[in-house]
Amino acid sequence: MNADDIRYSCQVALPGFGEAGQALLKQAKVLIVGAGGLGCPSAQYLTASGIGTLGIADYDVVAISNLHRQVLYTPADAGRLKATVACQRLQKQNPGVKLIPHTDKVTSDNVLDLVRQYDIIIDGTDNFETRYLLNDACVLSGKPLVYGAIYQFEGQVAVWNLLNKDGMRSPNYRDLFPDVDATQIPNCTEGGVIPTLAGIIGCMQANEVIKYVTKTGELLAGKVLIFDAQTMQSRIIKLGPVSKTNIRRLKTTVTIPTITADELKQRLQNNDDTIELVDVRTEQERDAFDIGGTHIPLDELEGYLAFFTGPKTKVLYCATGNRSEEAVKLILRKLPEADVLSLEGGLKEYILAGD
């Protein structure tokens, strides 16, 4: 008996799985976009199961504040590229899997080329722009997409764009959410998330991939599973068997001009009078703590567009950089020549940068 026979013996013994199922896993090519709270457990279990090729796409670096749910990393990895660290660690877990790190940011320029290299995609992203981009790219490429999302104590899982027997495709993310105002929805950093939820939902995503590849079980296609970590109850919302959306092209990714916390601190310490801070958080957040500047809440921004035509560079900030990026996008849509920057990582990174 060789090493693979021993390693995979328990799953090969499953009814309806067998050596044929294991052979299908070995041939499969899976891409995980986002090596964070969802991507880590998904990658661990897919690697352990013997997936032939596993790509991990993430341009971000390991941060201490995320270690409570991003279980592939250690404090010593802080500042290193997630995709690179994840592949190195997973390769030790299973040397027989081909692991490919993709460290470029996923944009409208490269997403189609990326997803076409793989059989099925896992969405482990944490922002709506990338989520919609990935969804649309999978629809245009004819690739199934395993969706996962977590916030506070609730998680969601679904399989999008599955090919039905009649040749039609199952619903995709836009069937559930045609459009979302990302500025009104806090992310995990702002709203919080229980760490075990990331593991539960990430494992469910890996489970859907294994079912799809081995042709076993009933996939979460045309429906969304919603899980409550506080009550340990789940429910399924049915969307119907066929997508009603018509996606013909990708929406061009907008590149947001940013400034790092270190660069901003340096310029402020040098009394650089060419920049001006703008706080786009709520009044309650502003009262609790701020680093100065003009206060213009995000939901009031359009009423103050004239302010952004002045000669100084406006540096917009919020708690994590999410809302300030949305604010910069809004301003540049209305005023393409405006000199505006978003503070990368928001106040969280600014505080961590120290004096």
Can you tell me the distance from the alpha carbon of 174 to that of 140, in angstroms, rounded to the nearest whole number? 13
Q: Reduced to 3 states, what is the DSSP secondary structure of residue 202?
A: helix
Q: Reduced to 3 states, what is the DSSP secondary structure of residue 340?
A: strand
Q: What angle do CA 243, 24, 3 make, to 5 degrees?
A: 145
- Length in residues, the chain: 355
Q: Which of 40, 87, 138, 318 is catalytic?
A: 318
Q: Is 138 a catalytic residue?
A: no
Where would I find the beta strands (DSSP E) of 174-322? Answer: 223-228, 233-238, 258-259, 275-279, 294-295, 313-317
Q: Reduced to 3 states, what is the DSSP secondary structure of residue 30?
A: strand
Residue 1 exposed, middle or buried by CB count within 10 Å (0-12, 13-18, 19+): exposed
Can you tell me the distance from the alpha carbon of 170 to that of 159, in angstroms, rounded to the nearest whole number? 9
What residues does 226 pair with on adjacent strands? 156, 235
Can you tell me the distance from the alpha carbon of 96 to that of 5, in angstroms, rounded to the nearest whole number? 12
Q: Is 203 a catalytic residue?
A: no
Q: How do strand 275-279 and strand 313-317 relate by DSSP bridges?
A: parallel
Can you tell me the distance from the alpha carbon of 351 to that of 355, in angstroms, rounded to the nearest whole number? 8
Q: Which of 10, 87, 188, 203 is catalytic?
A: 188
- Supply 250's token pair: 């990708």
Q: Using the structure block, give the residue that is written with the tokens 């709203």.
A: 191
Just list the catalytic residues. Answer: 188, 318
